[in-house]
A and B are shown apart, each in its own frame.
Chain A
Amino acid sequence: MDDRIQRVTMPKWGLSMTTGRIVEWFVEEGDIVGKGDDLVDIDTDKIAGTLESAAAGPLRKIVAQVDQELPIGATLALVAPAEVPDSEIEAAAAEALAELESLAQAAEAEPEPTFVSVGERSISYVTLGGGEATPVVLVHGYGGDKNSWLFVQQPLSEGRPVHALDLPGHGASTKDVGDGSLQFLVDTVLGFLDALGVERAHLVGHSLGGAVVAATARAAPERVASVTLLAPAGFGGTPNARYLRGFAAASSRRELKPLVGDLFADSALVTRQLVDDLLRYKRLDGVPEALAGLLPTLLTDDDRQAIDTRAILAEVEVPVRVVWGREDRILPMPDDGDIELVDGGHMLHMESANAVVAGLGKTLE
């Protein structure tokens, strides 16, 4: 293929994604696209996302049509300068079609999550990328898991290892959460770094995970290159206790679905699959107890924030970045302090993944 032709390919948003369905193109053949332009909406079985262009130049050919379901890595469109002849473009499109089957097979054979022992607990994690650069560790929030980084982990993993773990009580990790304290979660993250032989890492935490990475940086500054807090717990203001207590208690789809809508600015993003996956998690033995055990770490009995992350950050010496979704309906956005705003709700790393990744990219450099 002419090396002036750049391919727009099906992204991999998360561990379980093997295919994506084209929902809507925002560009037409002949348009000039720039880096970062919204190209196409893609639906996975979890959630829909917008693919931004990594290429710049004339969009010569749209290969993937609306409603087509394609494996990750499949060519969706071709960008090439005007001087590349049409015949070359057609040949590249034909080549893309011929590749589909082998891509589908490769998509099924993606890296599997694995386990590591931290103390007496088994911690599930998945690593993408590799290389010599300082690793990144992604720490999810209350009730989340490693898969919540689905739009973030892959793009960050160019040239560096990116580990996403399940905190105790979450995902596939041991469900016992000990005393459920912030210190326990910090010890788990440090134990995880030890177990993986990671001396120093950039830590990224969402929500409760934000407070965890901040406290980890305070406890062991030599192990932490930077912290990025996404809508972190403990920044003051009144948290959405209805959501937090409801999520901990919900045991049916009917109870859970209206709550989960609060996580996103656009509640329409909540698919049946997403609610089903949460229910599947919540029904595992030990999970209700784990969520109940962690709740007092987030929320006082009179529904205030139980952690003071600002006080923790005052003692943190590594670079800190705080990012918030403008329409967060779970943890209120503070109206003061050095905070970057992006579109979206509490799940900003799902709703505004591209902006979050771009910001993280700067920190990592």
Chain B
Amino acid sequence: MARTITYREAINEAIAQEMARDERVIVMGEDNVGGTGSPGEMDAWGGVLGVTKGLYGRFPDRVMDTPISESAFVGAAIGAATGGLRPVVELMFIDFMGVCFDQIFNQAAKFRYMFGGRAVTPVVIRTMWGAGLRAAAQHSQSLLPVFTHIPGLKVAAPSNPYDAKGLLIQAIRDDDPVIFAEHKMLYDTSGDVPEDSYALPFGEADVRREGDDVTIVAIGRMVGTALEAADELAGSGISAAVVDPRTTSPLDLDTILELVEDSGRLVVVDESNPRCSLASDIGAQVAQEAFGALRAPIQLVTGPHTPVPFADSLEDLFIPDASRVAAAVKTAVDWTK
């Protein structure tokens, strides 16, 4: 039965249910056990944001605390995955992934391909992304496009608790390496989530709202922003559909194309930097596949090409808000050739 829980609780529940179902599932990460080498019932921290809280108490043999050495423990998790375990490894901030790019890009992503399908790497790398926490330039990036770029990796970015649980269960059951990107500003949001386990297939977009005049594609926290803008626009008689791709790799381009073929207008909202972004990628694919259906130039709403500023007022300006999305929609809707 569904009840209301938070995004953080949904993630925790997904891991706990999969650990109970499959003893090959292990958890690794910093501060899972309350500090390196802490004995006993030291699961109070549950990682830096408390997401894995309680897991050590339930599964003491399968929750490992790691040193602050991402390249080592992500590499170890990838090795464990090829050896038959299903590690769920937490790498605090997506911004820190850089120190283990070789392990992720050159090893995990390549094994299935280079060993002719005879090796699989069922590892999930959980990480938080996105701006808004006043955590400055090194803890606020939205680096999803970097991982989406790499064949062999799957990338999930849930926008709500229901999707978070189902996508994480799918990620754990998936035989390929998955970057599971949790938006840090969504941890305390809540929604209806069934108590039973369920897996959400990758590559299936969720149409969160239907609308005829324009199709808004949004990712992660921006889904809420887009829905807010769509509400606002309804007041001015503009009917906007909002689509959440849920996974950026694989990407459900078919659903996006279907909607754009009806509306003729596309706005993509993504808080990452604009160059080589999800916005530019989705925009380019739609331009190529559905050019004839477009009645206005594709509008991209993204952060600027700058690091995320530390000053509150500047960080607020960096992140797209509903009024920017609404303005982009109006530009598309008012467009005349």
Known: A124-B1, A172-B1, A272-B210. Contact between A285 and B204, CB under 8 A?
no
Q: Which of A113, A280, A286 has the most CB of B within 10 A?
A: A280
Given contacts A113-B1, A272-B207, A272-B210, contact A252 B198 (CB under 8 A): no
B13 CB → nearest A CB, Å? 13
Shortest distance from the beta carbon of B283 to any chain A beta carbon, whole Å: 23
Q: Which of A251, A272, A284 contacts B194 (CB 8 A)?
A: A284
Find chain A residues with CB under 8 A from B1 CB: 113, 124, 172
A253 at the interface (CB under 8 A from B): yes
Residue of B nearest to A172 (CB): B1
Tell me whether B334 is interfacial, beta carbon within 8 Å: no
Known: A113-B1, A124-B1, A172-B1. A283 touches B207 (CB 8 A): no
Q: Would you call B198 and A285 a contact (CB within 8 A)?
A: yes
Q: How far is the CA of A283 from the CA of B165 in the complex (A)?
A: 12
User: Which chain B residue has the least Cβ–Cβ distance from A251?
Assistant: B201
B contact residues around A254 at 8 Å (CB): 254
B166 interface hit (Cβ, 8 Å): yes
The smallest beta-carbon distance between A57 and chain B, in angstroms, is 37
Looking at the assembled complex, report how far the CB atom of B207 sits from the nearest CB atom of chain A, in whole angstroms: 6
Task: Please measure, in the bound complex, the distance between the C-alpha atom of A159 and the C-alpha atom of B325, giving whole angstroms.
Answer: 52
Contacts of B200 in A (CB 8 A): 283
| Contact of A285 with B196 in the complex, beta carbons under 8 Å | yes
CB distance from B161 to the nearest CB of A (A): 13
Counting CB contacts under 8 A, is B199 at the interface? yes
Q: Does B69 contact A (CB under 8 A)?
A: no
Given the known A-B contacts A113-B1, A272-B210, A283-B166, are A252 and B194 also in contact in the complex, defined by CB atoms under 8 Å?
Answer: no
Residues of the B chain whose Cβ atoms lie less than 8 Å from the Cβ of A175: 196
B155-200, CB < 8 A from A: 162, 166, 194, 196-200
Chain A stretch 246-284: residues in CB contact (< 8 A) with chain B: 251-254, 272, 280, 283-284
Q: Which of A253, A280, A284 contacts B197 (CB 8 A)?
A: A284
* B198 neighbours in A (Cβ, 8 Å): 280, 283-285
From residue 187 to 223 of chain A, which have CB atoms closer than 8 A to chain B?
A: none
Taken together as a complex, chains A and B put the C-alpha atoms of A124 and B196 apart, in Å, by: 13
Residues of B contacting A172 with CB < 8 Å?
A: 1, 194, 196
Q: A172-B1, A272-B210, A283-B199 are in contact. Are A253 and B204 (CB under 8 A)?
A: yes
Q: Which B residues between 123 and 138 are near A, CB-CB below 8 angstroms?
A: none
**With A and B bound together, what is the CA distance between A254 and B205 in angstroms?**
11
Docked Cα-Cα span, A329 to B230, in Å, equals 37
Looking at the assembled complex, report how far the CB atom of A334 sits from the nearest CB atom of chain B, in whole angstroms. 37
Docked pose: A254 CA to B257 CA in angstroms: 14
Which A residues touch B162, using CB under 8 A? 280
* With A172-B1, A272-B207: A284-B201 Cβ-Cβ less than 8 Å: no
In the bound complex, how far is the Cα of B85 from the Cα of A313, in angstroms?
55
**Complex-state Cα separation, A254 to B162, whole angstroms:** 20
Listed by A's residue number, 12 A-B pairs whose Cβ atoms lie within 8 Å are A113-B1, A172-B194, A175-B196, A251-B201, A252-B201, A253-B204, A272-B210, A280-B198, A283-B198, A283-B200, A283-B201, A285-B198
Which 4 pairs, one residue from A and one from B, show the smallest C-beta to C-beta distance? A172-B1, A283-B198, A285-B197, A284-B196
- With A285-B196, A285-B199 known, 11 other A-B pairs at CB within 8 A are A172-B1, A172-B194, A172-B196, A252-B204, A272-B207, A280-B162, A283-B166, A283-B201, A284-B196, A285-B197, A286-B196
